[in-house]
A and B are shown apart, each in its own frame.
Chain A
Amino acid sequence: NAGVTQTPKFQVLKTGQSMTLQCAQDMNHNSMYWYRQDPGMGLRLIYYSASEGTTDKGEVPNGYNVSRLNKREFSLRLESAAPSQTSVYFCASSEFPDGEQFFGPGTRLTVL
């Protein structure tokens, strides 16, 4: 049981480049989430998917898009990266939206 996995672990982009962060869970969870965590700050929800086939905006969705590819996978896309998107990105999953969340190890993204 790997839990929640994220790829890549580290990434450096130039301003304007695009990339997709991948997340997968093997716990058969219904709900998945993308958060960002900036230095000295708490978590901010970017997007979430309450169940397969649905996605909703969180607190800070601008500049991001998501795809719930299937029940296991939930990807986050940056279409045109900006330095303000330099952050650590965490994916999480839960059986239901109000349940305990399980987190991945994070992706450390730097945009130059």
Chain B
Amino acid sequence: GDSVTQMEGPVTLSEEAFLTINCTYTATGYPSLFWYVQYPGEGLQLLLKATKADDKGSNKGFEATYRKETTSFHLEKGSVQVSDSAVYFCALSPGYSSASKIIFGSGTRLSIRP
């Protein structure tokens, strides 16, 4: 079945470092892809999304490109800040049926040192 695999955390970086969080997926249809972020003590919120191959989603300095050939949707940011410390979830919407639910990855905890 459809699934999402993301890199295990925790990931610890210094402020202003470059960030990559890997996400790969398995899907039989034409999925939409999402990155959600969960700040401490809060619910998840959508960070960015891409609905078709080669689309790039971007928000708050984060980017991810939908790569069909490598079935990947890696999250990147050029210069992280302490305020980016959170848990990041990759997710997909299968796309072959409007009755299909979003599938979430297991989450990657990111900690940024000042």
Contacts and interface: CB of A to CB of B under 8 A. Distances in A.
Interface of A: 4, 31, 33, 41-43, 45, 48, 50, 90, 92, 94, 96-106
Interface in B18-71: 32, 34, 42-46, 49
A103 B99 contact: no
A105 B102 contact: no
Contact of B43 (A41, A94, A104): A104
B93 A99 contact: yes
Most buried by A among B34, B44, B45, B94: B44
Interface size on B, as a range, is: 20 to 34
Most buried by B among A99, A101, A106: A101
A108 to B, nearest CB: 9
A100 B34 CA distance: 8
Contacts of A97: 98-101
B5 to A, nearest CB: 12
B42 A50 contact: no
22 contacts: A4-B43, A33-B101, A42-B105, A42-B107, A43-B44, A43-B107, A45-B101, A90-B43, A94-B102, A97-B98, A97-B100, A97-B101, A98-B93, A98-B97, A98-B99, A98-B100, A98-B101, A98-B102, A99-B93, A100-B102, A103-B44, A104-B43
